Amino acid sequence: MTATRTLPARRLTRLAVAALLAMGAVAAAAQPAQRPNVLLILADNLGYGELGVYGGGPLRGAPTPRIDKLAGEGTRLTNMNMEPQCTPSRSGMLTGRYAIRSGTYAVPLGGVAEGMTQWEVTMAESLAEAGYATALYGKWHLGSHDGRLPNDQGFDEWYGIPRTTYEAMWPGSPGYSPEVTRPEYIMEGRKGEKSRELKVYDMDQRRQMDAELTRRTVDFMERQSHAGKPFFAFTSLTQPHFPSVPNAKWAGKTGNGDWADMLAEMDANVGQMLDAVDRLGLRSNTIVIFASDNGAEHLRPWDGWSGPWRGEYFSAYEGGIRVPFMIRWPGKIPAGRVSNELVHGTDVFPTIAHMTGARVPDDRPIDGMDQSAFLEGKTDKSPREGILIWVDNRLQAVKWHQYKMHLYKQDDMESPPAKLPVPYIFDLYTNPREDEHKRGPSWVLNPMLKMIGAFEASTKTYPLIPMGTPDPYQPPVAAKP
């Protein structure tokens, strides 16, 4: 009989523990890394100078401590550029394409099949394909009929308004009749179903809207957290778009008027969403972005503030396109960092796709650039050298590094555009107000014209989609070189 040796119990326990740990390490290595959640909060017509960290806050009648703190917890950009109108900027963010390519280059005024064709691939569709739960709460402005609403463009659910906030003023206007002009309705919908109208969007609902968007965003994050599913929550706030009024609970809070009360409310709503992220234990694995869709509100008495820049929305001046932008992802994106590197709204989709492992389509021109290495601090430089700036369907300006070329002169949305016989060229470092009497060097025309030429060459292979193009849309077959 062969003698057997019994291992001491202590040594057996150590070996068992080591084996279990090794097995756990192998299993963990075999599992994909947990994908980060995405909370994108987009303000509507929030000027560059409104928030405390951008020189506003108390100067505008209301401190913005929660948004300011968010900026310090991540990276804040001082040279984030959007399209100068609501519809184009949202289209660009969600598709990664200049809105001129998608037929979404201007705010639609009705009478056409406005919005994005279903051929466009949105960030929501890409994230849904990658296994994310997706939701939009708030303003859409990329199509107001079934087939072109958020639940037709990649969002599992949505609640909000299909068009814009100023229509809330219609029901209370003297002589208004819904038989003559149908009011805008608050709507909701789910993927695979038709959206339904809930109630007329009037001034009472306008005051309540952003509080409701905040509540629904928090509820969505709670549901997905409990389900263990990564999420993309797009909270498209309606403030401060005119009429710029606060919720009744905030009216009179600051003592400095509606605008300041509204700004204080916005800051508190953002704080509620951030608190929910922390309460759910999702802080370290959630990318939080706060931005504005374009420059400051123009119409009085609700006019906003562009800080040091000239112009407001609907203009190619810096005040029309340069917006607040901050992004937080603890452990991935450096905290307390401020950069003046050039970034564009079309960069959001490719960047988020890289951070989440989602797909960016490769069968069409994508104007956005992946900014993940720059935002994560792996490089100090943005890969972007310049942007093209359209106002409606006019190429109005070109920006290359700190230089700007204007092809048209247009002071604001109510001024007619005037084609310039000789372009204005500005150095934004020495002439941030884009003063026509202080011109920049003409040699910068060379790289700017190359940018225009490259874009125009791409349209020969991939023609621009005209505004009002109905579904189904299929691009023409590209000619073989």
How many Å apart are CA 427 and CA 422, to the nearest integer? 16
* Residue 133 Cα to chain centre, angstroms: 18
Residues 401 and 284 in one domain: no
354 carries an active-site annotation = no
Taking the model in full, what pTM does it have?
0.92
Separation CA 315–CA 150 (nearest Å): 27
Report the C-alpha gap between 226 and 213 in whole angstroms: 20
Q: Is there a domain that residue 440 lies in?
A: yes
The number of C-alpha atoms within 13 Å of 107 and in the hemisphere containing its C-beta is 15
88 within a domain of the structure (yes/no): yes
Q: Does 342 share its domain with 426?
A: no
341 and 395 inside one domain = no
In a domain, 22, yes or no: no
Instruction: Tell me whether residue 141 is one of the annotated catalytic residues.
Output: yes
What pLDDT does 33 receive?
65
Dihedral pair phi/psi, residue 365, rounded to 5°: -65, 130
pLDDT value at residue 414: 87
The answer to whether residues 358 and 455 belong to one domain is no
Is 480 part of a structural domain of the chain? no
The reply to whether 349 and 327 lie within a common domain is: yes
DSSP letter string, 189-237:
EETTS--EEEEE--HHHHHHHHHHHHHHHHHHHHHHHHHT--EEEEEEE
The strand pair at 418-427 and 403-409 is best described as antiparallel
Examine the fold and report which residue of 323, 354, 375 is the final residue of a domain before the chain moves on: 375
Domain CATH code at residue 396: 3.30.1120.10
Domain boundary among 375, 410, 432: 375
- Does 321 share its domain with 444? no
The pLDDT assigned to 256 comes to 97
The verdict on 332 and 419 lying in the same domain is no
Residues 288 and 407 in one domain: no
Has residue 2 been placed in a domain?
Answer: no
Of 325, 351, 375, at which residue does a domain stop? 375
Running along the chain, 481 residues long, what does each successive block of 10 average in pLDDT? 39 41 41 83 98 97 98 98 97 98 89 85 98 98 94 98 96 96 97 97 98 98 98 98 97 97 98 98 98 93 93 96 98 98 98 98 97 98 98 97 97 92 97 96 97 97 95 79 45
Query: Domain span at residue 224?
Result: 37-375
CATH number assigned to the domain comprising residue 56: 3.40.720.10
Residue-level pLDDT at 422: 96
CB atoms within 10 A of CB 445: 15
Residue 469 lies in a domain: no
- Biggest CA–CA distance in the chain, Å, is 108
Evaluate whether 304 touches 322 at the Cβ level (below 8 Å).
Answer: no
Residues 239 and 338 in one domain: yes
Identify any residues that bridge with 232 across adjacent strands, giving them in sequence order.
38, 134
User: Which residue out of 86, 241, 298, 406 is catalytically annotated?
Assistant: 86
Same domain, 357 and 443: no
- Based on the fold, state whether residues 369 and 396 are members of the same structural domain: no
**Which residue out of 141, 241, 298, 344 is catalytically annotated?**
141
Residue 14 lies in a domain: no
Helix, strand, coil abundance in the chain, percent, nearest 5:
30, 20, 45
pLDDT at 300: 86
How many Cα atoms are found within 13 Å in the side-chain-facing hemisphere of 155?
25
If one counts the domains in the chain, the total is: 2
Specify if 224 maps to a domain.
Answer: yes
Q: Are residues 302 and 445 in the same domain?
A: no
- DSSP letters for 148-184: SSGGGTT-SEEEEESS-GGGGGSTTSTT--TTTSPPP
